[in-house]
Chain A
Amino acid sequence: MSDFSEELVRPTTEDEQGETCVLSGTGMCFPWLQKHIETVGKTLVATGGKREKDFAQTTSACLSFIQEALLKHQWQQAAEYMHSYLQILEDSDSNKRQGAPEIIWRLGSEILYYHPKSSLETFNTFADRMKNIGVMNYLKVRSDLCDGGLFSSLWQISLQHALYLLHHGLLEDANRNLSQAETWRYGEKSSSKEVLINLIQAYKGLLQYYTWSKKKMELSQLDEDDYAYNTASQNMLNHSWKTSINLCALIQIPGVWDPFVKSYVEMLEFYGDQDGAREVLTNYAYDEKFPSNPNAHIYLYGFLKRERAPREKLISVLKLSIEKNMILHRKKEEHHKLGLEVLFGVLDFAGCTKNITAWKYLAKYLRQTLMGSHLAWVQEEWNSRKNWWPRFHFSYFWAKSDWKDDKTLACEKALVAGILLGKGICFIFFFSGHGF
């Protein structure tokens, strides 16, 4: 056999979980390559004896049966296959044995989630068993090489179990679950572990926030002079302190943390820490390491509005959030012009074509701008749009359908079209036919 074929097709990292996926010469990985190789036959080679090979084949067949049953919504059947699949925990291949709990959890939880006869108890038992197996696996192996993976799967099981409980309204149980997961801190410290610990803690914090906000609700119903009020508020204070500890660590790590940020800021605001809240939100919105998240700007805008920040500042935050979407980078200072720009920008989007408020404001602003003889402003915005806005907004079809659906919208659009295009276009023709 010539050498090039070796170069052309080489297997993926042989030490990794024994995936049936092979990289090609381009570096691409084909999950279906195995199938091709198997059609040629004789090439299914595994280390170890015949028994191991047979077992590997049987387990992979079993896995595909489970997946097929899941995709056909045959939960009963999938559960039966799953019962057999558990044998993989006895696999002599330690790599496979370690990867097994994760697969079993993923498929098993899916089956139990949809199975008509499963209940909360079954799910809990299953999750606890899986966690036990994970811990036992760790105790057996105890090598630093694999504990990262082991722990991540353990924590994931805990996290998902907690979410499941949360959705069933069992906050206490969910909290206990997460606290338990928090204690699994064996082995060396690593950055990935830190992140996971933070995540677990943040979810815990969120659970505590839920309790807190429940208490807040109760508090709002109490009279301020009441004796009970003091106790309750003291209670809340304690809670919030614990929660903020839990939440603030994760928020520093780049990511999308909307629910965490929202609840954290709400608590900070409640206790009057405006500066802290502003810092958190500004950081969340403007830190370069974070993904660009429109919500971050919305939260900041909302906060500033609550704080009664000056109008300029509000608009600049708003503008920035729109620019983030539009990839348009222009700098203008004038207030009125900014508004025009924002409105044109908003109406560019396919999802906003029927936004009556935007059209109303655009009509108003256009009129004001033209009366203030700032024709150039409109011209500037219009130039880039004149070759497609007519087809996009002011076609005959839209005229007719707008007229049918929402007459106010149609009128506003007609007004804008009249200003921008003149009276010669069909859009106006349509309306002139309807008595305008």
Chain B
Amino acid sequence: MDFPSSLPPSLFMTGPLGLSDVPDVSFMCSWRDALTLPESPPQASENGAPHLAKGLLWEPDTPGPLPLLPPGPDPWDPGLTARDLLFRGGYHFRRQPRAVLDVTEQLSQFLWDHGDIAFAPLGKLMLENFKLEGAQALYFLIHFCPWAYLSYRQRRFSILGGPVLATSLARLLGELLHEELAARWEQLLLDDAFTGGALAWVPGRMPGAGQLVYPAGGALDRLSRGPDFQKVSLTPGSEPRVLGDPGHIQLRGPVRQVVTRTVQGEGKAHRHLRPLLTDLLPDHNPDLLCPSALLAVRSDYHCALWKVGKPGQPAPLQVLQVEKGATGISLSPHLPGELTVCSRSGAVCLWNPQDGPSPPHGWPVSPRLRQVYKDPETLVFRDPSPWRWADFTAHPRVLTVGDRTGVKLVDTQGPPGCGLLLFRGGAEASCQKGERVLLTQYLGDCSPESLQPTFHLVCTQFSLYLVDERLPLVPLLKWNHGLSSTPVVAQLLPPPRPGCPRPLLLAGQAGELQLLHITGEGASTPRLAGPPQSLPSRSNSLSAFPLLEPKSQWRLQERLSAPTIGLAATVLPSASTPVLSLFQLSAAGDVFHQRLHLQADPRPDSPAPTASWTPRATSRCSRWLKTLLEVPLTPPMWAAPTFSHRRLLGSFESREVEGKVPEGLRTAMAEGRLLQHRDLGLLPTREQPPAPEPGPEDELSERLEAAWEGQVAAWWERRQGGSSGPGKQPKRHKRRTQLSSTFSSLSGRLDLSDATSPPRSPDRTVPEARPQPPVTPPSQELTQGPWAEGIPSERQQTLRDYMAELPLQGDTPGGASAPSSQTSSIRGTSSRQQTLRDCTVKLQLRGDTAGGASMPSSQTSSVRATLSRQQAAILSGSQPLRKKPRMGF
């Protein structure tokens, strides 16, 4: 373990992040690292740089990785994306684009979708404070608050309580939603659950055979199965073979990290030295040097240790519960079975399952734990992240403890808290502003081949640092990795050939893979040997799949670009060229495999060869795809709430006797088929189905029609003139608006009939009153009139329920946030009336949802006044009254 006889020169600045007044002198390009200062005066050389292997290149066999195992039977949902969270409108006049969470839309959508959740608990809370006469009514109100239209009293309450409920609700909900959205957004930007990777390769006895350990089951973040053990056989010349079905271990939590470490010399020696599990081992193998491995698994709140012996099922050793949540686990490379576990509380424990007395069978209850470090604060400066990481060092009793701000060496034998900083997020490492540690790893293992066992890797979102624990604070190597996502896993591999540099793999969450070559034998400093290389990612494999129809294609694309959560690699010894076998695990649970071989004869002037798909590869992809498409899609996370219509129907059944009940309608409704005029027992007034007219948004067919007739220019002119001309419907009106206008026209008619009857109290008539939409052509009204005729009130209710469920997205924000001043200015233009009408629909149907929520009662009454005025105008207008009033509210 020699120390490099001379280290590369570097300035040592102390200070905070981003103090880049003095430039980063020592590290700029990958080639700069090759230019360490010569020990002795350099001799003039002819050409080319010394010390640098120019053609060190791993060539992929196929342009992308191939699926190794068939896709799991469970559907996978990609989850939230930035598109779901961010405000879509542009923030103009800003130099920098900024991310703004779209709370308004989310909140209104939430209120629409989960009205019951949003309102019912509030009602329940308020129940005690209300001593109203109609306890029954209140009960109803509470349970159906957003749909409190059942009686006038309830509606009145809704209008009265609107302002109070609205503000408190909006505040409460807003806060909660904000918290949730912010947390989701942070998680989307940086998901540290899978740091360290959830895929591990356990080498078997024969070179090239081994087991892959990974969490399986569709939703890794729901209850999932524990690690799967898949035996795989690798041969240098061909694709890996999967041997048999994987073995499962059922767990009760999602697996976040899987770590393995081979334990050598299992057997008698251990029995003598109070070994791990002598009692638990089913068959004690007399073979002294059979390689067995330890397998540590981290779940959100549990850590567990297994022992993977040669035959059969892995044997469980111990389980540890981490109350605050575990963030990292690592296995000691020095002492078999020793682990470190980090918790969100800032504690780091040394876990030594074999120190404790192990019960004869089952899960041992009390693991031997020793807290070696605890600090809820971060190391260097204050950072809110509770993420902690711990790993081992070249000294078996010294650990590294890392958080977002730095990495510290902690002596477990010394007094608590003693130690010194190994890496400091700051000027010492020329860190940028906003730079944070995302991954740290001890790179030493038991085999001191070609690299010192004292190196640690520290990854931030910008750079990769190589630190020697003997030279704290001064990174020996810094390289800007340029990954476009969080670095999740790093793995240092043994040299493919003796004397070759060691490959270091770095995987980003978005699927990017980078391969660096690190040398540093004996007394020379570690440096990059040759330029770093990017390896194909899973999305590069898209071309190997057959072309699909867009929906399936999109699904495949989404699946291939699922986040990477695990990486395992192994170098196969081969006679001719070393082969690198690379396994990737995606969040969808897919295991992909890629083979790379070291370029046999690196000729610098030859262009980088390009791999192509073999027929075997494409057929494998097709098979995989076929299985994937057979997997059913994820059921929607949420479906529109269904209300107890049946109950309502049942309770109102008796009232149906009044008036003429069209049986045809009833059966049509019951059967859910199209309502026809003959069902109503009426002569059709016009042969037009009640389907919405092709709206202005249906420009395409219009234009095509015009084009077919060779009159595009005329059409265009007409359109240009039309859209700018007054009285024309704005084109942004969607079919939904038409639907809602259909609906309001329907209720308007009913209210009209009310108006002709003797005057009632305004409260009874007005909220239901709708102006006749002047924008809708009368013909449509006429055809739709009969459609609504003769419908019993209860059914109308149901119908209205249905209508109300239709999302009125186009106008929702306007309606939801219309302030009082706007409400009064709404009158007048026809398009505004349209908005108003939508607003009223909501106001009525959801007494205290968003629409009504932001309108205090005074405004509501002004709206009401407007409505009645409009109604009067309509009454005096030329609209013919077609039908006798039947019923109203």
Contacts and interface: CB of A to CB of B under 8 A. Distances in A.
A271 interface: no
Interface stretch (B149-157, B216-224, B528-536): B528-536
Nearest to B175: A4
What's the interface size class on A, roughly? 35 or more
Majority-rule SS of B interface residues: loop
Interface stretch (A68-76, A128-136, A139-147, A311-319): A68-76
Contacts of B886: none
Interface stretch (B96-104, B702-710, B795-803): B96-104
Nearest to B432: A29
Contacts of B385: 26
A237 interface: no
Interface in A364-401: 384, 387-388, 390-392, 395-401
Contacts of A166: 35, 38, 42
Interface string A113-137: 1101101100000000000000000
Given A28-B434, A73-B533, A110-B531, A43 B97 contact: yes
Contact of A27 (B100, B335, B383, B419): B383
Interface in B1-57: 1, 3-14, 21-23, 25, 28-32, 34-35, 37-45, 47, 49-50, 54, 57
A35 interface: yes
Contacts of B398: 326-327
Given A110-B531, A391-B336, A36 B273 contact: no
B782 interface: no
B90 A45 contact: yes
A420 interface: no
A109 B31 contact: yes
Contact of A397 (B10, B188, B289, B532): B289
A71 B514 contact: yes
A170 B38 CA distance: 13
B1 A351 contact: yes
B436 interface: yes
A213 B41 contact: yes
B273 A426 contact: yes
B6 A29 contact: no
A327 B394 contact: no
Interface string B288-316: 11000000000000000000000000000
B883 interface: no
A24 B482 CA distance: 19
B661 interface: no
B395 A348 contact: yes
A80 interface: no
Contacts of B86: 36-37, 40, 43
B533 A71 contact: yes
B9 A260 contact: yes
Interface string A388-421: 1011100111111100000000000000000000
A399 to B, nearest CB: 8
B87 to A, nearest CB: 6
A427 B413 CA distance: 26
A109 B33 CA distance: 13
A170 B104 CA distance: 66
A295 B3 contact: yes
Contacts of A210: 38, 40-42
B95 A9 contact: no
A395 B95 contact: no
A396 B267 contact: yes
Interface in B500-514: 510, 514
A351 B454 contact: yes
Contacts of B448: 350-351
Contacts of B57: 73
Contact of A192 (B22, B88, B334, B470): B22
B360 interface: no
B558 interface: no
Interface string A12-56: 111000100111111111111111110111111111000000000
Contacts of B96: 11-12, 14, 22
Nearest to A120: B47
A230 interface: no
Nearest to A43: B97
A99 interface: no
B462 interface: yes
Interface stretch (A153-161, A220-228, A332-340): A153-161
Contacts of B404: 28
Given A327-B420, A350-B334, A298 B3 contact: yes
A219 interface: no
Interface string A159-193: 11001101111110000000000000000000110
Contact of A351 (B14, B273, B335, B452): B452
B533 A167 contact: no
A235 B237 CA distance: 64
Contacts of A67: 482
B83 interface: yes
26 contacts: A2-B103, A4-B178, A6-B100, A8-B185, A11-B98, A12-B96, A24-B189, A36-B188, A40-B82, A45-B92, A113-B31, A120-B47, A159-B25, A164-B35, A206-B37, A254-B14, A259-B37, A259-B39, A295-B6, A327-B409, A329-B418, A355-B1, A388-B396, A396-B270, A397-B266, A397-B288
Q: Which 7 A-B pairs have the closest CB atoms?
A: A397-B265, A396-B269, A29-B434, A351-B1, A169-B44, A71-B534, A36-B82
Interface of B: 1, 3-14, 21-23, 25, 28-32, 34-35, 37-45, 47, 49-50, 54, 57, 81-83, 86-104, 174, 178, 182, 185-186, 188-190, 264-270, 272-273, 288-289, 333-336, 355, 383-385, 394-398, 404, 409, 411, 413-414, 418-420, 428, 432-436, 444, 446, 448, 452-454, 461-462, 469-474, 482, 484-486, 510, 514, 531-534, 604-605, 607-608
Given A2-B178, A39-B82, A262-B6, 11 more contacts: A12-B433, A28-B383, A32-B484, A41-B88, A119-B47, A160-B32, A196-B23, A259-B39, A348-B397, A351-B453, A397-B289
